Structure 1
Amino acid sequence: MPQASAALATPRSRPKPADEFAPLLREIKGQELLARRTGWYAAAITVNLVIFAALVAGVLLVGDSWWTVALAAPLALFSTRTAFFGHDAGHSQIASSRRINRLLGLFLGNLLLGMSSAWWNDKHNRHHANPNHLDKDPDVGEGVLVWTQAQAARRAGFNRWLTRNQAWLFFPLLLLEGIALKVSSIQMVASSRGWERQGRARAVEGLLLAAHFVAYVSLLAMAMGPGKAVVFALVHHALFGLHLGSVFAPNHKGMEMPDPDSGQRWGHLRRQVLTSRNVRGGPVTDWLMGGLNYQIEHHLFPSMPRPHLRLAQPAVRRYCQEAGVSYAETGLVDSYRQALRHMHEVGAPLRQD
């Protein structure tokens, strides 16, 4: 698998695998980098909501004009920002209270975006527990795309054609991700899976999703005619899916994938670091990627507040070097190149056939 970091030094004394993470955890705690940043989040979420509300007001003010469709682009950008805050709430990064994080997830995810926070948290937490594990990580399960040649070999018909060309189709397919997230959320709430003895939670999820769809359709209906409304919704969701998918794509694709049949057991440090890739960049990259460009630090410390991830990076990089654990970090363009190259290699046997 491709790795983008420089060669790593061999440590003089290496902790046992089961204890590898403990010294790093003590160091990070000693720097108080796991402490909440409630004030930072309060200010950042407030600014995001003000801009979000201004864009909604702009749609109503501009009205039945094709210029209104232009507002779909910034609305998609700040919809993705809203999703980042919902993601952080799901990881309990924002508040120490589980209830407050849960309420923030419902407000930001279900009501503002039409995405079920329960569905997202269930899927995302399983990913965090076993990243890139074929049997346990839902993000590398067989779907529209596949991630191993063994998965590719089972494809047939139209799916086989998709797999042959999946590297070329990846970004175009992300244009559908915004709609796919909402469809998956509705399916989750409408099904009985995972909702045993949670009737009230299921009702709240469903009501907030319904409120979002009613408000969204009403906004477009009041502002513009049916044709422009459809175009606006398609552009908004296409750009939202493209942005969100582009943030998550370079984090794990093309990195190590634990073999379920090998019996190999990694500790927390190796399980999270070897399967993750960081993306270098400055404040603009941090803002556009919601801090998820520090994917290694985020996976090692999922409850760490977003503004602390960059502060933790030097200690994590140094510790991995001392422990002899490969620390993958590359530029944004190269991260996509590595991910796409992996997808292209997965489909290679089918192209030969």
Structure 2
Amino acid sequence: MMSKTLTYPHIFDELKAQIKDAGLLDRVPVRGSIEMIAIIVSLIIALTTAPLWHPVLLALFLTLLFTRSVFVSHDILHTQYFKSKSLSKKLSYPFSALILSNSSSWWDFKHNVRHHTYCNIIEKDEDIRALDGAFTHQKGNKPFLKKHKYIIFWGALFFMFPAFIGQSYKYVIKHKHWGELGLMLLHWPLIWGTLLYQIGFSNTLLVALVMNFVLSPWLAFGFITNHLGCETFSEEEAKDFSWMELQMRGSRSLKGGMLVHWFYGGLNTQIEHHLFPKAPRFNLLKVQKMTKDFAQKYDIPYFETTPLMAYVQINNAIKKY
């Protein structure tokens, strides 16, 4: 292990140069555009042919499209497809708002600005303060949460998507992003109004319920493996770390090949994503191999485990609350 954190920036420059020279930081505008267009076309086909589907199958297909849309929106805002931040925002805002009724401005601030800049810093990164700080060394002391901590934490994962939507609306209204709010509101007649017209109320309700209870845990069980149960730091403690060390110590990558990578939307390579947030998702498995080799060369700790063990580690952290 490196004994002086001051050497980390110089080491990171070496790794970054290797990744860049391999072409793994190059944007993928064509591939990204194809993915976006494929989602939009598939969604239009699903909505226009809705009466031909069994409601449960339709819900599962829409869940697949919504999940991919979440990952695509995330990637666009990281400028993984296009170098221009302005263009990325112009594409992400309507894409996310119309398909998901989700706010890109909220996600950009919460995720790109706060989380990536202050990874696992307790006072700054709200993602790590879940369950009254149960995953930090600044735990709260709420009797009700302590008594029902397992039900509350694991149960809440089945409602993550509507919670995200609620936070989106709260953010855009608070910051008076009326244009984005208008796009988000259009989601309801475009998606759900069409379904209501096509398949009626009871089938639309069934689609909505199935979607939520598949989509929410799919996203949630992916997101929680990224940092929960990893090291956390106070602002004062974080001052002693270089940016590279902070990202690597506060993140967890998951073992697995292409199937795991697809299921988690590339977030399984969380260490690599935090070190190189602009690296396209399609390249992250290659980036991971180079990063692991680099970490081994310099004896830098690399936190990686299986998906199952990640959930065990998270549950063990909850036990300590």
Q: Equivalent residue for 2:118?
A: 130
Q: Distance in 2 between matches of 1:150 and 1:269?
A: 23
User: Runs of 4 or more off by more than 4 Å in structure 1?
Assistant: 10-15, 142-145
Contact 1:33 1:312 in 2 (8 A): yes
Deviations 1:135-177 (A, max 9, x none): 0112123567742363332x2xxxx333443334433211111
Q: Equivalent residue for 1:50?
A: 41
Deviation of 1:124 (Å): 0.2
Q: Does 1:296 find its partner at 2:283?
A: no
- Number of aligned positions between the proteins: 320
Q: Equivalent residue for 1:25?
A: 16
Q: Does 1:228 find its partner at 2:228?
A: no
Q: Equivalent residue for 1:166?
A: 149
Return the letter of the residue paired with 1:165. H
Matches within 5 A, 1:198-209: 202-209=177-184
User: In 2 relative to 1, CA 316–240 (structure 1 residues): closer, same or farther, beyond 3 Å?
Assistant: same
Q: Equivalent residue for 2:220?
A: 245
Deviation of 1:255 (Å): 0.7
Deviation of 1:276 (Å): 0.8
Aligned equivalent of 1:40, options 22, 31, 39: 31
Q: Does 1:286 find its partner at 2:279?
A: no
Q: Distance in 2 between matches of 1:294 and 1:25?
A: 16
% of aligned pairs identical?
A: 28
Q: Distance in 1 between matches of 2:271 and 2:123?
A: 21
Q: Equivalent residue for 2:72?
A: 85
What TM-score results when the alignment is normalised by the length of structure 1? 0.83
Q: Distance in 1 between matches of 2:303 and 2:49?
A: 42
Contact 2:254 2:305 in 1 (8 A): yes
In terms of fraction of residues, the more helix-rich structure is: 2
What TM-score results when the alignment is normalised by the length of structure 2? 0.91
Aligned equivalent of 1:266, options 241, 245, 254: 241
Deviation of 1:119 (Å): 0.4
Larger relative CO (CA 8 A, sep 6+): 1 or 2? Answer: 1
- Name whichever of 181-190 and 140-149 sits farther off: 140-149
Q: Which has the larger radius of gyration?
A: 1
Contact 2:59 2:211 in 1 (8 A): yes
Q: Distance in 1 between matches of 2:5 and 2:306?
A: 30
Return the letter of the residue paired with 1:241. S
Q: Distance in 2 between matches of 1:247 and 1:14?
A: 30
Unaligned runs of 5+ in 2: none
Contact 1:14 1:322 in 2 (8 A): no
Deviation of 1:330 (Å): 1.3
Return the letter of the residue paired with 2:187. H
Q: Equivalent residue for 1:199?
A: none
Contact 1:18 1:267 in 2 (8 A): yes
Aligned equivalent of 1:71, options 58, 62, 78: 58
